[in-house]
């Protein structure tokens, strides 16, 4: 089968669902794994990668200095690096960056854990414009730092700034001019996601209060649903299908499927503790949710919330779907190809790609290359099947 290649320009991919249309890639690996084509040190952080037009973008921190890296996707060679002072320290030892760069129309958008927002030239790494959440929007830094990745919607770039009257801020993506700002809720750790409500474009933000929807046009609040989590950690990006949305949080909070419509608060379809996403979001595929319930991989029925199966061998990890195969990345740095269905989990290939703890950045497959990150290192693997 010929490889159907696809760029991965932002957090959770082109459609914000962590699903790639890439097909024909190598799913059966030797015990040592597919060929490693490069390895790079990118500082400490939990940022995953964006891939666009032959280049890869990520973030990391070294000696309290953040860096946005642009690498050649095929070789790992550094094209440019933009650095600036940023305190990387974390109260629980989870130091470093959180956000994943967003690439759009020749520009790269990044957010630091302290609230530095940069718009950079994708080719040269020069600053086109910048903002500071604390200085420009009186934003309050969440306990574990800002983590939401910027969202591009037509001419807008949207961020969660966590300020009074400015929890969500929409700016002109080319100039940084503020178009609107809205919301008084405190920031949490999720990323903004767009959706359509009865023909109108809107957005959802999973903040410290819970799930809040705003009009994309002017920021007007459409509805809200409370979701209280320990330490205000709502980190997983909501999963939307039609007029329903799935939300999930860790710390034994659990999950819910909500049904929304104009002019009223969402209705709870079901709610339970069968899926407790601590950091990474679930993937919805063919009517079932696949994700990490704290430290075990699970499958849930979208309609009922019923658990179909649970698999403990991967620990706390992350998922990506490419074609009809899942890439399962464990927190200990093991990457596997698996066939997941309501009937169970069947591993096809797997190996230890990196060492280290808490490798929560999800793997990215783009244009026949697989990228995996540990806290400090990033590797590129050739899974094109051509070698």
What's the mean pLDDT in 79-108?
95
- Beta-sheet pairing, 19-20 with 317-322: parallel
Measure Cα distances from 114 to 148, 217, 224, 331 in Å.
12, 28, 27, 25
Q: For residue 244, what pLDDT is reported? A: 97
| Reported confidence tier of residue 262, pLDDT bands at 50, 70, 90 | confident
What's the mean pLDDT in 77-95?
94
What's the mean pLDDT in 14-29?
96
- Regarding pTM above 0.95, the answer is yes
Q: Among 188, 375, 185, 186, which Cα is nearest to 278's?
A: 188
Q: For residue 365, what pLDDT is reported? A: 98
| Reported confidence tier of residue 5, pLDDT bands at 50, 70, 90 | confident
Distance CA 46, CA 353 (A): 16
Q: Which residue has the tokens 């230890």?
A: 352
Mean pLDDT (the chain, rounded): 96
What's the mean pLDDT in 323-327?
97
CA 278, 184, 97, 15 dihedral sign is positive
Distance CA 385, CA 27 (A): 9
Q: H or E segment at 136?
A: helix 133-137
Q: For residue 359, what pLDDT is reported? A: 75
Helix, strand or coil, per DSSP, at residue 367: coil
**Percentage of the chain with pLDDT > 70?**
98
Q: H or E segment at 72?
A: strand 65-72
| Reported confidence tier of residue 1, pLDDT bands at 50, 70, 90 | very low
Residue 184 per-residue DSSP state = -
Among 178-192, 202-216, 251-265, 316-330, the range scoring the smallest mean pLDDT is 251-265
CA dihedral 281, 239, 142, 186 (to 10 degrees): -160
Tokens of 319: 């998922």
Report the 10 Å Cβ neighbour count for 273. Answer: 13
CA 36, 42, 48, 53 dihedral sign is negative
Highest CATH level, class, for 47-187: mainly beta
What's the mean pLDDT in 180-203?
96
Distance CA 177, CA 175 (A): 5
| Reported confidence tier of residue 3, pLDDT bands at 50, 70, 90 | low
Q: What are the two backbone dihedrals, phi and then psi, of residue 134, each rounded to the nearest 5 degrees?
A: -70, -45
Q: Where in the chain is the domain with CATH 2.40.128.630?
A: 47-187
Report, in angstroms and rounded to the nearest whole number, the Rg of the chain calculated over CA atoms. 19
The predicted-structure confidence for 114-147, as pLDDT tens digits, reads as follows 999 999 999 999 999 999 999 999 999 999 999 9
Q: Among 265, 211, 258, which Cα is nearest to 236's?
A: 211
Q: For residue 387, what pLDDT is reported? A: 62
């Amino acid at each position: 089968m010929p490889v159907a290649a696809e760029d991965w320009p932002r957090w959770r991919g082109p459609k914000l669902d962590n699903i790639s249309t890439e097909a024909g890639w190598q799913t059966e690996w030797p015990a040592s794994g597919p060929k490693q084509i490069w390895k790079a040190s990118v500082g400490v952080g939990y940022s995953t990668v964006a891939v666009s037009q032959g280049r890869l973008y990520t973030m990391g921190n070294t000696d309290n200095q953040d860096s946005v890296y642009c690498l050649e996707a095929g070789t790992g060679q550094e094209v440019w690096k933009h650095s600036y002072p940023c305190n990387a320290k974390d109260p629980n030892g989870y130091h470093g960056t959180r956000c994943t760069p967003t690439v759009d129309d020749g520009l790269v958008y990044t957010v630091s854990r302290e609230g530095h927002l940069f718009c950079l030239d994708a080719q040269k790494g020069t600053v086109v414009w910048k903002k500071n959440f604390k200085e420009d929007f009186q934003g309050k830094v969440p306990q574990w730092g800002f983590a939401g990745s910027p969202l591009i919607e037509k001419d807008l770039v949207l961020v969660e700034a966590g300020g009074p009257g400015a929890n969500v801020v929409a700016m002109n993506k080319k100039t940084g001019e503020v178009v609107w700002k809205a919301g008084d809720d405190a920031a949490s750790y999720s990323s903004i996601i767009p959706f359509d409500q009865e023909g109108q474009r809107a957005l959802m933000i999973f903040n410290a209060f819970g799930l809040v929807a705003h009009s994309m046009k002017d920021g007007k609040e459409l509805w809200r649903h409370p979701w209280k989590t320990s330490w205000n950690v709502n980190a997983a990006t909501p999963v939307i299908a039609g007029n329903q949305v799935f939300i999930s949080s860790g710390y034994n909070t659990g999950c819910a499927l909500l049904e929304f419509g104009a002019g009223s608060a969402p209705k709870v379809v079901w709610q339970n503790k069968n899926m407790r996403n601590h950091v990474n979001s679930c993937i919805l595929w063919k009517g079932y949710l696949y994700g990490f319930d704290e430290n075990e991989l699970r499958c849930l029925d979208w309609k009922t919330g019923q658990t179909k199966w649970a698999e403990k061998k991967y620990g706390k990890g992350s998922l990506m779907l490419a074609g009809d195969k899942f890439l399962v990345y464990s927190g200990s740095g093991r990457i596997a190809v698996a066939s997941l269905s309501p009937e169970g989990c069947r591993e096809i290939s797997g190996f230890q790609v990196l060492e280290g703890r808490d490798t929560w950045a999800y793997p990215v497959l783009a244009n026949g290359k697989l990228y995996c990150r540990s806290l400090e290192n990033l590797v590129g693997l050739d899974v094109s099947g051509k070698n």
